Amino acid sequence: MTQTVLAVGAHPDDIEFMAAGTLALLRQKGWRVQMASLTPGDCGTMTHTRQEISRIRKAEASAAAGILGGTYHCLECEDMFVLYDRPTLLKVIGLVRRVRPDLVFAPSPEDYMADHENASRLVWSACFAAGIPNIPTPDAEPYHRIPSLYYMDPVDAKDKYGQPTPADAIVNITSVVDLKTRMLACHASQRDWLLAHHGVDEYLDSMKRQSRLRGRQADWEFAEAFRRHRGHSFPQDDLLSKELGPLVRIIR
Ligand SMILES: [Zn+2]
């Protein structure tokens, strides 16, 4: 049976920075890829209105997901206002119930902005709550299985105190880094203003810097890093290593 991976970010390009290479490898293994963001990234502009940039960024995210034959979902929260509250958690539970994933990638619990940290907790709780019948969601039936949950890297692979983020698993994405770059480049609205502002392609360069940094830790050229959720009631086996075998280096 086809297995499904669901990657969830706070903003439309978060997944492309941190996990698109691993998603591409899973796709090559026959997995179904689903990508979602809590917000349409409606503050990621200096020139467009909220409505304009939301429309543009959702189209960019759909194009990126399309490269892996995947679907993009937007939960329509507001940029900078991703809150751990009841309405938002119900949206994320609904997403997990509709997608019914075997494997979930969530934002890092520690990161440079609160949207990412709140999204991390929301995804964790949604994976746990999706099977609880007494939590109704309008368009989705309970999903009676807790998926394997992994946290993606924070930006620059460090927490807000500057400490390097530990990794459980480092994935060799060298063979798919061009695909990852193409997916990130779909987000032209974000890439272009950095290009104009910095005069260099900082958007793509920063992704490659971090992928190289993680690669060096395993003697590979490019890599992505993940931490595995091992709390009570979640799957305790390492599904990512089982699927990707020698492409994964276990750190701890
Ligand atoms: Zn973000």
The rounded Å distance from CA 238 to ligand 1 centre is 26
This prediction's pTM: 0.97
Task: Look at residues 86, 93, 152, 163 and name the one whose alpha carbon lies nearest to residue 117.
Answer: 152
- pLDDT the model gives residue 139: 85
The rounded Å distance from CA 66 to ligand 1 centre is 20
Residues facing 9 on adjacent strands: 37
The rounded Å distance from CA 52 to ligand 1 centre is 19
The rounded Å distance from CA 152 to ligand 1 centre is 12
- pLDDT the model gives residue 11: 97
Largest alpha-carbon pair distance within the chain? 54
Q: Which two tokens stand for residue 130?
A: 């999706």
The rounded Å distance from CA 139 to ligand 1 centre is 27
Q: Which pairing describes strands 32-37 and 4-9: parallel, antiparallel, or unpaired?
A: parallel
Sign of the dihedral defined by the CA atoms of residues 108, 149, 125, 94, in that order? positive
Tokens 């009676």 belong to which residue?
A: 144
Residues facing 171 on adjacent strands: 224, 248
- pLDDT the model gives residue 162: 96
The rounded Å distance from CA 28 to ligand 1 centre is 26
Distances in whole angstroms, Cα of residue 129 to Cα of each of 41, 49, 71, 97, 103: 26, 35, 23, 10, 15
The rounded Å distance from CA 155 to ligand 1 centre is 9
Q: Give per-10-residue mean pLDDT for the chain (252 aa).
A: 97 98 98 98 90 96 98 97 98 98 98 97 98 94 97 96 95 98 97 82 95 96 98 97 95 79
Question: Please, are residues 173 and 22 in contact by the beta-carbon 8 Å criterion?
Answer: yes
- pLDDT the model gives residue 134: 97
- Domains detected in the chain: 4-250 (3.40.50.10320)
